[in-house]
Structure 1
Amino acid sequence: MTRAVLSIGSNLGDRQAHLRSVVDAFAPQLIAVSSVYTTAPWGPVPQDDYLNAILVVDDSDATPRDWLARGQDLEQAAGRVREVRWGARTLDVDVVWCGERRDGELRSVRSADPELTLPHPQAHNRAFVLAPWLEADPDAVLEVDGVARPVRELLAELPPAERDGVRRTDLRLRPVIS
């Protein structure tokens, strides 16, 4: 029923292993996965740099809340502790965007629920989301203030320092196929 864009990040412990655990968990639903990017932390809390990536996943039986619940389960399994807003974390899995198939067309899901606001209200301001998303889906579109905008344009409009702070690494996340 839904396709989702998941932003994943880690800056504690074995960062790459934490990201890979998400890719492995979503392997049956995985449509695309970006390269791994390194970025400075976002927010006021001093901490180490993050590794970030984007996953595009699809499941005819999943709802947007299912994607959120699965992401939170993976965060918990990685030992995520939510004590400080914007603080360091072993794993962060954010549902950035969801689309539902209606009449054969994929349409953006909107939600004002504080537990799952869709599309993610700050995604258009974050190069660490937009750059890997554009790589994973060059035709991606994100609704901002009720207007559908190409992710490519949103990324280009960010300040150069914001864009330049997101650097692609040589790391790759591939699902383990048994």
Structure 2
Amino acid sequence: MKDFHTAWIGLGANLGEPAQTLRRALDELGAHPAVEDCRVSGFYRTRPVDAGGPDYVNAAARLSTRLAPLELLDLLQDIENRHGRSRPYRNAPRTLDLDLLRYDGLRCDGPRLTLPHPRMHQRAFVLRPLLDLDPDMTLAQGRVDALLRACGDQGIEPL
């Protein structure tokens, strides 16, 4: 039996019924046999960053998994696809976005996956939900609470 690993997932949606879609996606993720102990942050309404469109609903999840990083990425993309995710252009509005943010302490820069997520330290919609799950979290760029303060111009509010 494989050992369990800790993974951090960013969730977002701004088309359809975003909060409902996030709940369903979390249920699907937590129901996978190789995923356990899925903990979820609060949900937040956020303005799009580097994009247009309606406001997003964002959250984060911390889970234990026996899946390897690319297997987990495949699962996340499968869930996105089941919820009608399309990628017509970069930062397009979306029915569901699931990003693998961290996986244990792994660092990788491959054609399909970069870990840790290369822009999470610049995005309040990722940082604020992460604080719900781990108020003492530190990224390579600094403490998450300090990084969030540096993103003070990005609109975010609890739902």
Rounded to whole Å, the distance in 2 between the matches of 1:75 and 1:137 is: 25
After superposition, residues 1-178 of structure 1 pair within 5 angstroms as 1-27=4-30, 29-44=36-51, 46-59=52-65, 61-99=66-104, 108-144=105-141, 149-156=142-149, 158-162=150-154, 165-169=155-159
Q: State the 1:90 CA deviation.
A: 0.2
Q: Is the 8 A contact 2:123 2:151 kept in 1?
A: no
Rounded to whole Å, the distance in 1 between the matches of 2:151 and 2:110 is: 30
Q: State the 1:143 CA deviation.
A: 2.3
Rounded to whole Å, the distance in 2 between the matches of 1:65 and 1:140 is: 24
Q: Is the 8 A contact 2:124 2:151 kept in 1?
A: no
Q: Is the 8 A contact 2:10 2:59 kept in 1?
A: yes
- The C-alpha deviation readout for 1:30-70, integer Å capped at 9, x for no partner, is 342111000011113x20000000000112x2111122111
Segments of 5+ residues of structure 2 without an aligned counterpart are none
Rounded to whole Å, the distance in 2 between the matches of 1:129 and 1:88 is: 17
CA RMSD after TM alignment: 1.4
Q: Relative to structure 1, is the Cα distance of residues 31 and 150 closer, same or farther in structure 2, using a 3 angstrom cutoff?
A: farther
Structure 1 segments of 4+ aligned residues over 6 angstroms from their partners: none
Q: Is the 8 A contact 1:30 1:55 kept in 2?
A: no
Percent identity over paired residues:
36
Rounded to whole Å, the distance in 2 between the matches of 1:24 and 1:79 is: 17
Q: State the 1:91 CA deviation.
A: 0.2
Segments of 5+ residues of structure 1 without an aligned counterpart are 100-107, 170-178
Partner of 1:176: none
TM-score (norm 1): 0.80
Q: Is the 8 A contact 1:109 1:119 kept in 2?
A: yes
